[in-house]
């Protein structure tokens, strides 16, 4: 009897149902996590789904290159949907490190802690759906890992045009605390600056001088050839 129990328990632990844990509103395995997905329950102020919106959102370092001083970003920073829209997200992580996509400010009676959460522990993709209320509102979309949002992984979802722009959305709104890239002026940095300025003046002068010398040489060669061609 004990052997049979051990065999059955081992089979269950090796099954996909055990590997991918599903605890009420959270699904997770060794590669991803989804929390509070909602493909069918309508918010209290919605009579029906107004539209199905398919959105692909990519996350990674390469999407931050268009923003000065940023390290991580989504490939888009804003989305607009109708009230009571069902949003079907395909979340793609282009990096080898962990990234999240979290939507904040949703009604707590339908979304625990007021949020939907998608997470990938490395490169890959996953899908989840949720339904927004009818309220005209702008929702925060970001990665909650330390410094990821601060370094650019932040966006906004507008329902019915939204109720304004959120702060510090790359390419859309001004930062609350702007990054400062001040120079630590030491004798070495001053010397480097003076050297670069002098070099900036010297290079054009050398080029002009070389160009003038080259023209003089060409002129001499031309005169010599013309002299050689004259009949004796």
Looking up residue 81, the CATH number of its domain turns out to be 2.60.40.420
Q: How confident is the model at residue 17 (pLDDT cuts 50, 70, 90)?
A: very low
Are 194 and 86 part of one and the same domain? no
Greatest mean pLDDT among 1-10, 12-21, 37-46, 173-182: 37-46
Integer Cα distance of 39 and 90 in angstroms: 14
Inter-residue contact 218 to 210 (CB < 8 Å): no
Tokens 């793609």: give the residue. Answer: 92
Are 142 and 187 part of one and the same domain? no
Are 49 and 136 part of one and the same domain? yes
Whole-number pLDDT of residue 19: 45
pTM of the predicted protein model: 0.70
| 215 lies in some domain | yes
| 72 lies in some domain | yes
| 187 lies in some domain | yes
Are 146 and 50 part of one and the same domain? yes
| 41 lies in some domain | yes
| 197 lies in some domain | yes
pLDDT at residue 64 greater than cutoff 60: yes
| 8 lies in some domain | no
Are 231 and 117 part of one and the same domain? no
Are 155 and 187 part of one and the same domain? no
E-state strands within the chain: 21-23, 26-28, 32-35, 52-60, 73-74, 78-81, 86-93, 99-104, 115-120, 124-131, 137-142, 154-159
pLDDT tens for residues 120-135? Answer: 999 999 999 999 999 9
Q: How confident is the model at residue 202 (pLDDT cuts 50, 70, 90)?
A: confident
Q: How confident is the model at residue 230 (pLDDT cuts 50, 70, 90)?
A: low
| 143 lies in some domain | yes
Are 118 and 59 part of one and the same domain? yes
| Sequence-separated (6 or more) residues with CB below 8 Å from residue 42 | 48, 49, 84, 131
Whole-number pLDDT of residue 193: 85
User: How many independent structural domains does the chain possess?
Assistant: 2
pLDDT tens for residues 79-112? Answer: 999 999 999 999 999 999 999 999 999 999 999 9
| 167 lies in some domain | no
pLDDT at residue 12 greater than cutoff 80: no
Are 65 and 100 part of one and the same domain? yes
Are 188 and 96 part of one and the same domain? no
pLDDT tens for residues 147-162? Answer: 999 999 999 999 999 9
Q: What are the residues facing 35 on neighbouring strands?
A: 26, 117
Integer Cα distance of 141 and 149 in angstroms: 9
Are 47 and 145 part of one and the same domain? yes
Q: Domain span at residue 91?
A: 16-159
Find the mean pLDDT for residues 1-17. 47
Inter-residue contact 25 to 112 (CB < 8 Å): yes
42-51, 121-130, 173-182, 187-196: range with lowest mean pLDDT: 173-182
Are 131 and 190 part of one and the same domain? no
1-5, 63-67, 81-85, 93-97: range with lowest mean pLDDT: 1-5
Integer Cα distance of 172 and 80 in angstroms: 14
Q: How confident is the model at residue 185 (pLDDT cuts 50, 70, 90)?
A: confident
Are 150 and 196 part of one and the same domain? no
Integer Cα distance of 72 and 70 in angstroms: 6
């Amino acid at each position: 009897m004990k052997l049979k129990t051990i065999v059955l328990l081992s089979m269950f632990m090796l099954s996909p149902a055990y590997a991918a844990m599903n605890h009420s509103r959270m699904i997770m395995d060794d590669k991803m996590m989804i929390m509070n997905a909602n493909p069918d329950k309508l918010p209290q102020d919605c009579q029906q789904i107004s539209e199905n919106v398919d959105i692909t959102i990519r996350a990674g370092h390469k999407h931050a290159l268009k923003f000065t001083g940023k390290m991580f970003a989504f490939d888009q920073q804003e989305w607009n949907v109708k009230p009571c829209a069902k949003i079907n997200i395909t979340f793609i992580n282009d990096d080898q490190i962990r990234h999240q996509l979290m939507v904040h400010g949703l009604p707590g009676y339908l979304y625990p802690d007021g949020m939907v959460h998608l997470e990938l522990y490395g490169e890959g993709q996953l899908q989840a759906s949720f339904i927004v209320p009818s309220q005209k509102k702008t929702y925060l979309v970001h990665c909650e890992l330390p410094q990821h949002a601060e370094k650019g992984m932040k966006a906004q979802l507008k329902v019915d045009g939204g109720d304004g722009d959120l702060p510090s959305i790359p390419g859309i709104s001004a930062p609350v605390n702007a990054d400062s890239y001040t120079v630590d002026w030491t004798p070495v940095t001053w010397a480097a600056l003076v050297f670069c300025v002098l070099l900036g003046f010297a290079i054009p002068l050398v080029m002009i001088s070389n160009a003038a010398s080259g023209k003089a040489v060409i002129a001499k060669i031309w005169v010599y050839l013309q002299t050689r061609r004259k009949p004796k």
